[in-house]
Amino acid sequence: GAVVSQHPSWVICKSGTSVKIECRSLDFQATTMFWYRQFPKQSLMLMATSNEGSKATYEQGVEKDKFLINHASLTLSTLTVTSAHPEDSSFYICSVRGGAGNEQFFGPGTRLTVL
């Protein structure tokens, strides 16, 4: 399956700062990438679908001005959490889709803690 990496693995920042998370598809050209967030003991919640070369599609209730997504190439998508606040603390996971079974492959996740 596709190999997906994320950077950083974890980040701690002060309230009010912006944090950028990178998602790379290492062996697969992904025209579409997905960004999820996961709270402790909960399932994944889709935040947005990132489309290469065009604007991301955000799910209902997700603020696009707060969670900026850039998908500038077929192998890289970035999620920037702007003016982060403690309630943005979460586990952020990206994913790419491909393969015969329409499989989605997930990155290892980024743990964001906002103090």
Partner 1 sequence: GEDVEQSLFLSVREGDSSVINCTYTDSSSTYLYWYKQEPGAGLQLLTYIFSNMDMKQDQRLTVLLNKKDKHLSLRIADTQTGDSAIYFCAEIGGSARQLTFGSGTQLTVLP
Chain residues that interact with partner 1, rule: CB under 8 A: 1, 4, 6, 34, 42-44, 46, 49, 93, 95, 101-109, 111
CB of 3 to partner 1, least distance (A): 11
Give burial (CB, 10 Å; 0-12/13-18/19+) of 101: exposed
Smallest gap from Cβ 11 to partner 1, in A, equals 14
Compute the least distance from the CB of residue 77 to partner 1, in Å: 15
Nearer to partner 1, 49 or 82 (CB): 49
